[in-house]
C-alpha cells in the first residue's frame, strides 16, 4: 500500500493562493454568466459580446494546465473556492464538528418563477458533504447516495446558510447530513448522504 492509498487514485492537491486578479476574473465571469441568462441583446451588441467572449477564450486557451494545477477549486479564500462550477459560497466554519457555508443563488441558478433550479441544490449539498467528511478527517471518498427533501422554495439573491456534520462512520462509509436555511432559520431543504472511502488506485 502506497503513501497515497488514503486518496485512492486521487493526486494530493495543495492549497492555491492566486493573485487578486484571479478573484476579479472569477467574479467577472460569474457576472457574465448571470447576464448571459438574463439579457436580450440587440443583434449588434450580441455580435460584440460574442466577439469579446471569443477573444477572452483565445487569450486563456494557451495556458490550460492539468487537473490540480489551476487555482480553480484550490483557492480556499474565494467564494466557491475559485471554481465556476461550485456555487459562490463562503466557508464560515470548518472542523470535525461540522462545516457551515453561506451564500446566495444568483440569476444564473434560476429554475423558474424566481426560484433556484432544484438541480442546483444537490450540487451545493454534494460539495458541502465532501468538505464535511474531509474536515472530519476522513480519506478521499465518493458519494454513494445523496437524498434531498425540498421543504420550501429556494430564493435567488437571498443570503442562505448550509450547515452539516458527520452522523456516523462504519469502516469505509461516512454518513453525513446537512440543512439549508434562511437567515431567520426557515428550513429550505435538508439532505443526507453516504460517502465511501476510495480503495487504493480507485478514481
Q: What is the CA radius of gyration of the chain?
A: 19
* C-alpha cell of residue 158: 437571498
Domains of the chain: 5-197 (3.10.129.10)
CB 148 within 8 A of CB 189: yes
pLDDT in tens, the chain (203 residues): 344 445 566 667 789 999 999 999 999 999 999 999 999 999 999 999 999 999 999 999 999 999 999 999 999 999 999 999 999 999 999 999 999 999 999 999 999 999 999 999 999 999 999 999 999 999 989 999 999 999 999 999 999 999 999 999 999 999 999 999 999 999 999 999 999 998 887 76
* C-alpha cell of residue 100: 457551515
With H, G, I as helix, E, B as strand and everything else as coil, classify residue 108: helix
Residue with cell 447530513: 177
CB 156 within 8 A of CB 110: yes
CB 145 within 8 A of CB 138: no
Residue with cell 440569476: 107
Amino acid at each position: 500500500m502506497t503513501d497515497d492509498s488514503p486518496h485512492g487514485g486521487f493526486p494530493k492537491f495543495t492549497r492555491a493562493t492566486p493573485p487578486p486578479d484571479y478573484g476579479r476574473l472569477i467574479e467577472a465571469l460569474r457576472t457574465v454568466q448571470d447576464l448571459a441568462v438574463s439579457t436580450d441583446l440587440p443583434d449588434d451588441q450580441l455580435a460584440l459580446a460574442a466577439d469579446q467572449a471569443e477573444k477572452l477564450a483565445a487569450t486563456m486557451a494557451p495556458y490550460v494546465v492539468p487537473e490540480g494545477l489551476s487555482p480553480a477549486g484550490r483557492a480556499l479564500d474565494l467564494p466557491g473556492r475559485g471554481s465556476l462550477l461550485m456555487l459562490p459560497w463562503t466557508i464560515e466554519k470548518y472542523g470535525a464538528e461540522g462545516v457551515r457555508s453561506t451564500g446566495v443563488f444568483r440569476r444564473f441558478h434560476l429554475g423558474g418563477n424566481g426560484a433556484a433550479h432544484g438541480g442546483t441544490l444537490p450540487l451545493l449539498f454534494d460539495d458541502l458533504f465532501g468538505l464535511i467528511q474531509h474536515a472530519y478527517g476522513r480519506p478521499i471518498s465518493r458519494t454513494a447516495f445523496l437524498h434531498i427533501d425540498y421543504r420550501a422554495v429556494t430564493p435567488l439573491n437571498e443570503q442562505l446558510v448550509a450547515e452539516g456534520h458527520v452522523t456516523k462512520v462504519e469502516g469505509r462509509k461516512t454518513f453525513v447530513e446537512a440543512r439549508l436555511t434562511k437567515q431567520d432559520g426557515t428550513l429550505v431543504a435538508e439532505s443526507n448522504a453516504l460517502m465511501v472511502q476510495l480503495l487504493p488506485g480507485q478514481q
